[in-house]
Amino acid sequence: MAANVRFLNPKTLAHQTGYSYVVEDTGPGRTIYIAGQLGLDLENKIVGAPGDFRAQATKAIENLKAALASVGASLSDVVKITNYLTDMSHIGIYREVRDEHFKMPRPASTAVGISALARPGALFEIEAIAVLPPAKAAKPAKAPAASRTAKVKSAKRKRK
C-alpha cells in the first residue's frame, strides 16, 4: 500500500464495517485501473456449475489478483472496487467472499444489481482501482559504443 493513501469512515456517516466510505490519495503514485473481471478460467469458460455464484465470485477476485500482480500490485493496494451482481439475493455470499480476500481497511466499494452481464451465464463482475508508490525511473539506455570501423571512417571524414 502506498504511504500516501488514507482509508476513512467519517463519524458523520452511518457506521459500517464492510468497506471504506472515502479513500484519499495525495500522490505521487501510480494509479492502476483494472477492467471488470469475471469468474473465467484460462480456457475462457465460466467456473463452477451453472448458477454457482460463490465459485464465480471467488474466481473473479482471483483473476483480479492476477491482473494486479502483472503490475506488481496486490489486493492491499486496491482503493476502490465496483461489483456487479445479476441477482442481489447473492449479496451476502459476495460479502463473505470479499471479506476472505480483502483485509481491513477495505477499499471503497459499490455494488450494483444489473439484469445481465456481457457474458451469458456470468453472475458477477468486479473492477478495481489501485494506487501504488511511484515507479522507479528507468535508467536511460547508454548509446551503443561505436565500432572500430565506424570510428576509423569518422576520423577519415574529419581529415578530408
Q: Percent of the chain at pLDDT above 90? A: 61
Q: What is the pLDDT of residues 65-81, one digit of tens each?
A: 999 999 889 999 999 99
Q: Which long-range contacts (CB under 8 A, 24 or more apart) does 69-73 make?
A: 71/30, 71/32, 71/132, 72/132, 73/32, 73/130, 73/132
| Contact (Cβ atoms closer than 8 angstroms) between residue 88 and residue 94 | no
- pTM for this one? 0.75
Average pLDDT (104-127) is: 96
pLDDT score for 9? 82
Q: Given this model, what pLDDT does residue 138 score? A: 45
Residues 6+ apart with CB under 8 A from 101: 61, 65, 75
Q: What is the pLDDT of residues 7-49, one digit of tens each?
A: 878 888 788 777 777 777 877 888 999 999 999 999 999 999 9
